[in-house]
Amino acid sequence: MFSNFLIWFVIVPVIMMAGLACCGNSNMKAIRTVMVVCSTVLLGMAIWLVCEFLDMRAAGDTSEMLFTGSWMWYEPLNIHLAVGVDGISVLMLLLSAIIVFAGTFASWKIDPLPKNFFLWFALLSTGVFGFFISIDMFTMFMFYEVALIPMYLLIGVWGTGRKEYSAMKLTLMLMGGSAFLMLGLLGIYWHSVPAGGVPTWNILEIAHNSAIAPSWQNLLFCFTFVGFGVLGAMFPFHTWSPDGHACAPTAVSMLHAGVLMKLGGYGCFRIAIYLLPSAAQELAWIFIILTGISIVYGAFSACVQTDLKYINAYSSVSHCGMVLFAILMLNRTAMTGGILQMLSHGLMTALFFALIGMIYGRTHTRDIRQMGGLMKIMPYLGVCYMIAGFASLGLPGMSGFVAEMTIFFGAFENGDMFHRVFVIAATCAIVITAVYILRVVGKLILGPVQDDHHLTLTDATWWERFSTATLIVCLAGIGFFPNWINETIQHSFTPIINALNMAI
Amino acid sequence: MDYSQFGAMLPELIILGLFFIVFLFDTFSNEGGKKLLTPVTTVLFGLATVAIWLIPSCGDTVFGGMYVDDSACKAMKAILNVGVFIVLLQSAKWVESDEVAIRKGEFYELLLVTLFGMYLMISARHFLLFIIGLESASLPLAAMVAFNKKHYESHEAAVKYILTAVFSSAILLTGLSFVYAFSGGSLYFDDIRAELSSGSTPGLLICALAFMIAGIGFKLSLVPFHLWTADVYQGAPTAITAYLSVISKGAAAFAFFVIFVQAFGTLYSAAWEWMMYAVIIVTITIGNLFAIRQKNMKRFMAFSSISQAGYIMLGVMTESALGLGSMMFYIFVYVVSNLAVFSVISAIENKTGKVGMDDYDGLHKTNPWLSFAMTLAMFSLAGIPPFAGFFSKILIFTSVTASDSMALYMLVLVALINTIISLYYYLLVVKAIWINPGEARIESFRSAFSERLALWLCVGGIVFFGLVSGIYQFCVESAATLV
């Protein structure tokens, strides 16, 4: 079991927790050492995994999942601990590792109870990594919930503002989503084989069997898509997102918007659409409407907010809506764009939240009406904020451009009127994105200094520079060299597209 | 008479033997010897627990089919024994308090008698033996509820308990008399099943089933037969509350399954399915909704345990070995999770006398370990992975949906939605401990060794029962002999 490389993505965070548990309660040096060492190891593992994965693909290995392994867990119900990765999960693992790494540095001076904070943080990352390596629905769901629950304490204890309310709202809404999801998974499990067989939780086997009757598929598709869609901030289930993000501490916002919301998109893609293709063909229109609303509504809402975190949270609703929107177009180009958008949004939002945290830590306000001229006061942070903004509004050269262009190209391949209308509406949302990004940049970064006390503030410290620089390099990396990502994920769509074509 | 038949009753005999040891020890020892009563009983009971886990079940049916000793009954008894052992540990400090110490022998004797009664309930295959077990499990419990002699609430609780217990027995017996009428004068489960499967469905049967569900429903505190629960849980000494909420409930749930599958199983869909749908849905929902507003931890746990009983009853709906195994696993996990909560409550109550939820504000500042244990227990009860409660909930849901019936699927939907409500109130406790502002109201203290041991056992169970799949496997395999 331990010879499988993927399983170490779960074991290392567990070791991280064990290490933290051994540290003294306020021994910051020991805690930081554990966190930095383990998150660096995770990042190194993720990079190595990408290289190895590309090598294996280049060597002609065309199986759907690589690094697979499967171990029996609950025999009476045929539950396995099954792992395996394709190009998409490899990139998601890399994204998670980068953000855990950056998040560690962004919460360098967390207070109070630093040890407990990092313990829950490590538990959250265990869930995230476990989710992306699983190909057994049961373990996948388990890791999904493992990733959700630490949010309650992370926001409730270390958050700001109306943290109790937001933490409870976020937890209950996401858990509500996962209740529907569980029901969907149970249905998939019991119908996963033709009559007489032993039901299975293994995603690959279920897809291979394709035994679920269309009448059940429709019901299960709604359950699973809504279940994951809640985490993907799909309208009208997005309301946890602005409150939750606004109240969460910096690293948690980063991890949550950067990685956790991707769990939603990834799950919709891997379970709802892949395993229930005929329902996807039939019912996609309902969710295209909902995600279309998410995109436009999120963008408009961001325009009128004055709290930096709310602006960014609504922009996340809009961008994550774009991810689900792309996946629902059910063709290869749009789905490629959707995955690119996940990566791009993950890095960009993490950068945004990190910067907002740093600015807030200095000015003690997030209200854009009370700040201005940050470029004069803290030029490094100002420049970073502008870069993140440009990535968000899709400036060529940054990741956002690559992702959104691909999505719209792909979406336009659907020639009927219904799809066209929604694609055009979604395209317009880019303009609105430019409005709210430029409004903030103009006011906050370039405008006149609003408060003379701010003139005495300092620019970023070394760990803050390190954290943000990591993310910017990655953002520009995707923007300039999108091809290697394309190369990594190109095989991953084939089984899904085949399943969809068979279902017509 | 063939006395070798008693060999099949080894678990009962062990408990009975222990009872006599405690009784004689308590009666004849001097003051100095009495000091040893608690440790001796606890250690002996621990040994008995190990013995019951280890001795294999003979699978015999003895006394003309009245009593059965198969692996399912054995496993259930073993699970209950673990729970009772933890209860003994967590009550060790309380029984040594001034008010109770003089009567501690009675406490152990009553406890062992009720446990003996529950064993009979589990193994009975004849309704008369079942009633004997039920009565000897109920009546001494009333005396235990009244154990805090000088507390008014304790008396009130005992009166409420004894009246409802007697009343529910009466209802159950009425139902039984109907059963007796149509089964051709036999109360053996097998005879009843044979009579029912011969084709005719007597109109009296619906009546009989309704009475029996009501009668056992009282014991399990299913809604609408739950009204005694909150008051009794609040008034009883905390150790007894813990005992009532897990051991008594677990035994009744298992007996319920056996009766309805072994005696009435053939009539499942026709006669009692719809009653159980209704009862389960209202039990889970009402328990949850009322728990939200509770401010006293013991009342809070009362409503929480009502809704948990609804989840346990889901196992009955399956009528399969998988379902029974999942139900036994659920009960086992529920035993450790609930007892973890009660261990914390009783540790704090013994030290400070505080049981309000408000008193837990800021507990993590003064008692980090208790806070940690309480948080894990709440997560486990709410069904959060990687703790055991998650696995027990999901596995029972999975086994219920196995039958491919849309109605059961929707029942699971209701149960799943209810887990969200329950998550809310379980998080309220976590919130009080970790998030609520203000100074801690409970000073820092170190709990007694026995309490810490109980808590460690529970936390170990919460963490490992789910991750180690062997226990579930054991439950399902043991259950296979029964269905």
Average of pLDDT values for A335-340?
90
Q: How far does B440 lie from chain A, in Å, by closest CA?
A: 15
> Is the pLDDT confidence value at B268 over 60?
no
Length of chain A: 504
pLDDT mean over A160-172: 89
Mean pLDDT of chain B: 89
Structure confidence at residue A292 (pLDDT): 92
Task: Return the higher-pLDDT residue of A25 and B284.
Answer: B284
pLDDT higher than 80, residue B351: yes
Tell me the per-residue pLDDT of B411-470, one tens digit each, with 9 for 90 and over. Answer: 999 999 999 999 999 999 999 998 888 777 888 888 888 999 999 999 999 999 988 888
Task: Please state the ipTM of this predicted complex.
Answer: 0.91
Q: What is the nearest CA distance from A64 to chain B, expressed in angstroms?
A: 28
A chain contacts of residue B413, beta-carbon cutoff 8 Å: 183
pLDDT of residue B289: 93
In angstroms, what separates the C-alpha of B14 from chain A's closest C-alpha? 32
Residues A436 and A315: beta-carbon distance below 8 Å: yes
Q: Is B463 on the interface with A (CB under 8 A)?
A: no
Q: Where is pLDDT greater, at A267 or B58?
A: A267
What pLDDT does A500 receive?
Answer: 87
pLDDT of residue B1: 65
User: Which of A138, A157, A187 comes nearest B435 by C-beta?
Assistant: A157
Cβ proximity of B328 and B459 under 8 Å: no
Helices (H), A69-212: 87-106, 114-133, 137-148, 150-158, 163-190, 203-209
**Predicted pLDDT at B96:** 87
DSSP class of residue A23 equals S
Calculate mean pLDDT across residues B220-234: 90
pLDDT band, very low/low/confident/very high, at A83 (cuts 50, 70, 90): very high
**pLDDT for res B269:** 60
Give residues with Cβ within 8 angstroms of A314, minimum separation 6.
A242, A298, A299, A301, A302, A305
Output the pLDDT for position B326: 93
- Categorize the per-residue pLDDT at B266 as very low, low, confident or very high, splitting at 50, 70 and 90: low
| Cβ proximity of A327 and A265 under 8 Å | yes
- Classified as helix, coil or strand, A65 is coil
Q: Which residues of B touch A79 (CB under 8 A)?
A: 469
Q: What value does the mean pLDDT take over residues B164-192?
A: 88
pLDDT digits (tens, 9 = 90+) for A204-213: 888 888 888 8
Interface touch B398/A189, C-beta < 8 Å: yes
Token pair of A245 as six digits:
């993000």
Q: Any CB–CB contact under 8 A between B438 and chain A? A: no
Average pLDDT over residues A346-369: 86
Beta-bridged to residue A398, according to DSSP, are A396
Burial (Cβ within 10 Å: 0-12, 13-18, ≥19) of residue A289: middle
What is the mean pLDDT of the segment spanning A107-131? Answer: 87
Average pLDDT of the residues in A142-163: 89
CA dihedral B24, B30, B32, B37 (to 10 degrees): 20
Q: What is the pLDDT of residue A229?
A: 92
What confidence score (pLDDT) does residue B247 get?
A: 93
pLDDT at B101: 83
pLDDT confidence of A168, banded at 50, 70, 90? very high
Q: Which residues of A touch B435 (CB under 8 A)?
A: 153, 156-157, 163-164, 167
Q: Can you give the pLDDT at residue B201? A: 67
Measured distance CA(B80)–CA(B88) in Å, rounded: 12
Evaluate if residue A114 carries a pLDDT over 90.
Answer: no
Instruction: Give residue limits of the domains in chain B.
Output: 3-479
Select from A26, A148, A190 the residue whose CB has the most chain B CBs within 10 Å, as the one to mutate to test that interface. A190
Q: Which residues contact A476 (CB under 8 A, 6 or more apart)?
A: A397, A398, A399
C-alpha A281/C-alpha A289 separation (Å) is 14
Residues of chain A in contact with residue B412, where contact means CB-CB under 8 angstroms, are 183, 186
pLDDT of residue A2: 78
Given a contact cutoff of 8 angstroms between Cβ atoms, the answer to whether B304 and B291 are in contact is yes
Distance CA A353, CA A359 (A): 10
Mean pLDDT of B5-29: 89
pLDDT tens figures, A87-109: 899 999 999 998 898 888 887 87
Contact A404, A341 (CB under 8 A): yes
Q: In the structure, what pLDDT confidence band is assigned to residue B304 with cuts at 50, 70 and 90?
A: very high
CA nearest to A246, candidates A358, A163, A304, A175: A163
- Cβ pair A152:B427 closer than 8 A: yes
**Distance, CA of A262 to CA of A244 (rounded, Å):** 16
Residue A216 has pLDDT above 90, yes or no: no
Other CB atoms within a 10 A radius of the CB of residue B154 amount to 21
Size of interface A-B (CB pairs under 8 A): 81
Q: How close is the nearest chain A Cα to the Cα of B221, in Å?
A: 26
The closest alpha carbon to A305, from A316, A314, A294, A297, belongs to A314
Residue B296: φ, ψ to 5°: -95, 130
